[in-house]
Amino acid sequence: MTAVPSPATGRELSNPPSDGISNLRFSNHSDHLLVSSWDKTVRLYDASDNVLRGEFVHGGPVLDCCFHDDSSGFSVSVDNTVRRLVFNHNKEDILGKHDAPVRCVEYSYAAGQLITGSWDKTLKCWDPRGASGQEHTLVGTYPQPERVYSLSLVGNRLVVATAGRHVNVYDLRNMSQPEQRRESSLKYQTRSVRCYPNGTGYALSSVEGRVAMEFFDPSEASQAKKYAFKCHRKLEAGRDIVYPVNAIAFHPIYGTFATGGCDGFVNVWDGNNKKRLYQYSKYPTSIAALSFSRDGRLLAVASSYTFEEGDKPHEPDAIYVRSVNEIEVKPKPKVYPNPPT
């Protein structure tokens, strides 16, 4: 039975996870969607056909997942493990472990390595092509100033955001020490970091309804371009209600980006022109994760309560896949006044 399309929020996928959705990601090769959840599963969907293609059950809640290629991926869990998943054979193996829950995972096509960040205050790099067994696959362990909360890659650059508002920028070709050690320009805890597709910097969001736009180039001219803006807030009875910004996703064609917050809204922004382009209709509960498909035609939205207000009755966890209209994501050209004649 296919879900009835809802034009306001997008089409709801059948067979969603039964507990909080920790992340979702589109493949770089197809409309396959990988989803990790607190219900201890990783699920593979065909988002176009609304079909659940596969499911893996882990020993603890799964905090992140990513694709390797269209037929395999990786996941990290509260049970401290890093797993490789082979979808078409329904097979999995353990690449290795951290000493505490593993919060995030990214695969670098540039380096051919998997990078994991953990609450044990380390990053680990793995070579998934190595023979099975941790000693063959672990490339290196790199201490971090605090627990790792978010990772993002662009080319050979890796950005690591940790507790305590630290941000480390690495070159994957030389992981011995960070290329840059920074502090978040936002005053509150970091929720998500995502690199610009053009490789010049990163966007970072916090629990206090703000996003910072940062640049790698340390020159004064580049640093003068950085800024932060408020979002995912509402005025209620004269008070500013502020929501965490859980998710950032860049559009692969236009370089504009979507943010998702605990207010249940998804906003689309043009970072260069400092403008909001679009706000989608409100979702049933918090936005836990966002991902654009490889061609930018689809946006996957995880509507999933993130327990920011503690344990309370909430809407069921759901994944919506919406068709993206160009008008929602394409930057609007700047209009200059006509010069006086």
Q: Which domains does the chain have, with CATH numbers?
A: 19-147 (2.130.10.10), 184-308+315-330 (2.130.10.10)
In tens, the pLDDT along 71-91 reads 899 999 999 999 999 998 889
**Exposure string (b/e) for 252-284, b if CB count within 10 Å is 16 or more?**
ebbbbbbbbbbbbbbbbbbbeeeeebbebeebb
In tens, the pLDDT along 138-172 reads 999 999 999 999 999 999 999 999 999 999 999 99
Residue 2: pLDDT above 60? no
Dist. CA 164–CA 10, nearest whole Å: 37
Strands 275-279 and 287-292: unpaired
Which pair of tokens denotes residue 291? 């991902």
Which pair of tokens denotes residue 222? 């580049």
Using an 8 Å Cβ cutoff, are 152 and 202 in contact? yes
Alpha helices (runs of H) in the chain, residue ranges in sequence order: 134-137, 220-223, 326-329
**Exposure string (b/e) for 210-224, b if CB count within 10 Å is 16 or more?**
bbbbbbbeeeeeeee
> Per-residue pLDDT averaged across 257-266, rounded?
97
- Sign of the dihedral defined by the CA atoms of residues 5, 7, 11, 17, in that order: negative
